[in-house]
Amino acid sequence: MRQGLFAAAGAYLLWGLFPIYWKLLHHVPALQIMAHRIVWCAAFVAVWLSLRGGWSWLRALSPKLIGMLAASALMVSINWWLYIWAVNAGFIVETSLGYFINPLVSVLLGVVVLHERLNRVQWAAVSVAGLGVLWLTLQAGHPPWIALALALSFGGYGLIRKLAVVPAVQGLMIESGLLFVPALSILLWQEAHGGGGFGHIDTRTDTLLVLGGLVTALPLILFAIGARRIPLSMVGILQYLAPTLQLLCGIWLFHEPFSSIQAIGFGCIWAALGLYAVDGLLRNRRRPPAVAQQQG
């Protein structure tokens, strides 16, 4: 269990420090960074799978599963592009809000799409989070579009990946493989029109673009290792580490504004997450040991 805890915590720690990494590439357009991220991620994951177990699992893929993974690939590519753009445009605080909202968006998608039922505490958590978003909307004069788009795109991605029964790393390989040709086409088009960043700026930029694929794949691999070894309730608590670190990066490292008005909205969402997390822990403790072990 200790190995699983370190692996899962490491995944969320890396995700939480993403703003620092993408800020180092602020001079490269977000679309180009995303394309490099896809291309090099596909390369790194292909090497990982070749070393770990080969490619026999490809024979089990069905056209329906590939179609679902194509949809999840589209959702995650939108999420990646928007996140990179927002970080380098100075909206790190709002991106963190998106990932704080994301668990509750996933809950609502479960209710609407999968017809899951919520208890009173869970409905209260969703309602309090909704009040937080409404407060931020009224004070800013517009909804927090970046946060909502990130939460919805990643929530949609999570929903599809829940329905598409495939291991995390193999799923990422299919997704990045499906996106590989469009991403490579973007890079070649940019290069042909004189806008390519790779090989034209400096060695550090080239290295960061290549390692962006590893930075993308490594947290997911760590998460896949950790999720199999620790209880689901612990995973649920650890997931808040990433947006917390992102928020701290935005405020302390990059000096983005964080007013008392924002603090009230964030406070509502944190309270909602607290309600939801505590309810999940209590329900997990009340379950029979055999059930809890299966879910862990």
Q: What would the mean pLDDT of 156-180 be, rounded to a whole number?
A: 88
- 220 in Cβ contact with 45 (< 8 Å): no
Residue 74 has what pLDDT? Answer: 94
Q: What would the mean pLDDT of 110-117 be, rounded to a whole number?
A: 82
- Where helices occur in 53-91 by DSSP H, the ranges are 63-88
Q: What would the mean pLDDT of 123-148 be, rounded to a whole number?
A: 87
Per-residue pLDDT reduced to its tens digit, 173-200: 999 999 999 999 999 998 888 777 787 7
Residue 79 has what pLDDT? Answer: 93
Q: Which residue has the tokens 């070749």?
A: 50
- 40 in Cβ contact with 266 (< 8 Å): no
Instruction: State the pTM of this model.
Output: 0.85
d(CA 80, CA 224) in angstroms, rounded, equals 19
**Domain extent at residue 134:** 2-295
Residue 290 has what pLDDT? Answer: 44
Domain count, the chain: 1
In this predicted model, which residue has the larger pLDDT, 102 or 2?
A: 102
User: Binning pLDDT at 50, 70 and 90, where does residue 232 land?
Assistant: low
Instruction: Quote the mean pLDDT of the chain.
Output: 86
DSSP 249: I
In this predicted model, which residue has the larger pLDDT, 227 or 212?
A: 212
Residue 293 has what pLDDT? Answer: 39
Question: DSSP string spanning 112-158?
Answer: HHH-----HHHHHHHHHHHHHHHHHHHHHTS--HHHHHHHHHHHHHH
* Residues making up the chain, counted from first to last: 296
* Contacts of residue 259, Cβ cutoff 8 Å, sequence gap at least 6: none
